[in-house]
Amino acid sequence: MGCFMLTCSISGEHYIGVTKDLDTIKQRIFFRLSVGALANLPSLQAAYANHGEDAFTFKILEFLPPMEETEAIEENLAILLELYKEQVPQAKEIRV
């Protein structure tokens, strides 16, 4: 679990998100983009449609250690997301 960033090398746009499952998030994002299922982020969906998957880089920004309590997980992911959004203020939030 942790925070990740997706960047379009052509437009320079950044998208930051958090997930409980860093092992599968990259595949989930690119699958959803490939079938047009990220319409809630039209700029990302359009960039993917125009430039393809090769125009994007995926980076894990930070791993969080496993936690037992659901409330602690959600709280820590929210804090992590806000920290990275402050570091990259032009980034848009991605939720998958």
pLDDT of residue 8: 96
Q: Is the pTM of this model over 0.85?
A: yes
The phi, psi pair for 6, rounded to 5°, reads -115, 130
pLDDT of residue 71: 84
Please state the rounded mean pLDDT for residues 16-29.
Answer: 95
Note whether 32 and 96 are within 8 A (CB).
yes
**Digit-coded pLDDT (tens) for 67-84:** 788 888 999 999 999 999
**Digit-coded pLDDT (tens) for 39-49:** 889 999 999 99
